[in-house]
Chain A
Amino acid sequence: DVVMTQSPLSLPVTLGQPASISCKSSQSLVSSDGNVYLNWFHQRPGQSPRRLIYKVSNRDSGVPDRFTGSGSGTDFTLHISRVEAEDVGFFYCMQATHWPSFGGGTKLEIK
């Protein structure tokens, strides 16, 4: 099984400041078709998860451009250029190259 390790576990951020979340996989996420199926999700308190980013760096429809995904191989990062109040909640990375697995989550809170 592919283990996804996120850091930090907790991320206190001042409004308007940038933030980054790291996600490392225990195996390469390069698929046999050449794609890298690494996705990022946001879950606000009391809500379902919502996909933000798919295949490392592609933003889903309606996702603000202050969210950017990057990385390759086994190391990936979600960047938020300017944190807003609505970003509070948990962020999860997930790989779907192999049988799906999620990272443990990063809790973003406003300082």
Chain B
Amino acid sequence: QVQLVQSGSALERPGASVKISCKASGYTFTNHVLAWVRQVPGQGLEWMGWINTNTGNPMYGRDFTGRFVLSLDTSVTTAYLQILSLKAEDSAVYYCSRGSNFDSWGQGTLVTVSS
């Protein structure tokens, strides 16, 4: 069965960076884009962008350009979200999801940015 397993929670200082992983299994990794979604505590879902798992080409949502980097390692069927120069407002749960219609989701990774 399709599984997306994300890395664990992270506590980071403002200005630092964090890299979240999303390990996919149970399907052909390169057949579906891998999307990322942010959920600030108590708020809704925001599409951050996705990465084409065939070409490695990322596409970012309008509010997620500059400090957000999507990448892949197809040899281990894993996608990554890196956030640079962390700010307090980056504190959120980050989800990976399969495909352009989000049919499967990871368990989420809580990132807390605090001094």
A contact residues vs B (CB 8 Å cutoff): 1, 37, 39, 41, 43, 48-51, 54-55, 60, 90, 92, 94, 96, 99-105
Contact = CB atoms under 8 A, between A and B. Distances in A.
Contacts, number: 53
Contacts of B106: 48
Interface stretch (B8-16, B39-47, B84-92): B39-47
B46 A102 contact: yes
A44 B34 CA distance: 23
B101 A101 contact: no
A102 B47 contact: yes
How extensive is the interface on chain B, given as a class?
A: 10 to 19
Contacts of A105: 44-45
B96 to A, nearest CB: 10
Contacts of B97: 49
A44 to B, nearest CB: 12
27 contacts: A37-B100, A39-B101, A43-B45, A48-B106, A48-B107, A48-B108, A49-B37, A49-B45, A49-B97, A51-B101, A51-B104, A54-B101, A54-B103, A55-B101, A60-B103, A92-B44, A92-B45, A94-B45, A94-B102, A96-B102, A99-B62, A100-B35, A100-B47, A101-B47, A102-B46, A102-B47, A105-B45
